[in-house]
Amino acid sequence: MRALTMTEYPDDVEIAPGLLSGDLDAKFALKIFSRKTVDEVVEYLQKEAPNPYDIFEHFYFMSNRAFLFYFPIFEKYLRAEQESYGEIDDVFVLAVLRLLKDRGNVLAGTDIGALISNLHRAILELMSSKDSNSTVIQEIKKLWIEASYLGLEDRGK
């Protein structure tokens, strides 16, 4: 498997293809990602972002190259948030699983073991929590089962 290590930043159109058509969301995507490292984007999510969930929309439109470059954000953000606050953001986990379901094919042949391992640990903890019957947790369970059929869960062991 290839590692998610690229040294050259994706260009602006790879990050936000909507630039070509004047899409206003594309400018917001550039504010977050353009010429930034994964660590810089994680720091932005933790300290400046009005809503860290807003980044997910941009991943649905990025080129495959930009998607692969910035995908490690999710593993680093989940780990950092758990270390900082001692809890798991169930909505963020759900959003990552939805993104994996919709665009996980881009990651074929890529080592995402650290993310899958973190997700596995987080999901087990969420399922044993007092809110394990919540709608969000139930959807997480469903998507994790679907991910296991796609072989994603096995990539984290």
Report yes or no on 7 lying in a domain.
no
Report yes or no on 66 lying in a domain.
yes
- With 0-12 CB in 10 A as exposed, 13-18 as middle and 19+ as buried, what is 94? buried
pLDDT at position 99 is 95
For residue 110, the cross-strand partners are 2
In sign, the C-alpha dihedral spanning 85, 87, 111, 136 is negative
Report yes or no on 125 lying in a domain.
yes
Residue 155 has pLDDT above 60, yes or no: no
151: left (phi over 0), alpha (psi -120 to 50) or beta: left
Report yes or no on 4 lying in a domain.
no
Residues 124 and 122: their CA atoms lie apart, in Å, by 5
Q: Could you write out the three-class secondary structure of the chain?
A: CECCCCCCCCCHHHHCHHHHHCCHHHHHHHHHHCCCCHHHHHHHHHHCCCCHHHHHHHHHHCCHHHHHHHCCHHHHHHHHHHHHHCCCCHHHHHHHHHHHHHHHHHHCCECCHHHHHHHHHHHHHHHCCCCCCCHHHHHHHHHHHHHHHCCCHHHHC
**pTM as predicted:** 0.85
Q: How many domains does the chain have?
A: 1
Report yes or no on 49 lying in a domain.
yes
Report yes or no on 150 lying in a domain.
yes
Residue 4 has pLDDT above 50, yes or no: no
Instruction: Encode pLDDT of 72-130 as tens digits.
Output: 999 999 999 888 888 888 999 999 999 999 998 998 888 888 888 888 888 888 888 76
pLDDT at position 114 is 86
Pairwise pLDDT comparison (3 vs 26), residue with the higher score: 26
Domain enclosing residue 152, as ranges: 12-156
Report yes or no on 6 lying in a domain.
no
Residue 40 has pLDDT above 60, yes or no: yes
- In this structure, the number of other CB atoms found within 10 A of the CB of residue 18 comes to 17
pLDDT at position 156 is 45
Report yes or no on 48 lying in a domain.
yes
Q: Are 30 and 12 in contact (CB under 8 A)?
A: yes
Instruction: Encode pLDDT of 129-151 as tens digits.
Output: 767 788 999 999 999 988 875 56
pLDDT at position 130 is 66
Residue listed under structure tokens 């495959």: 64
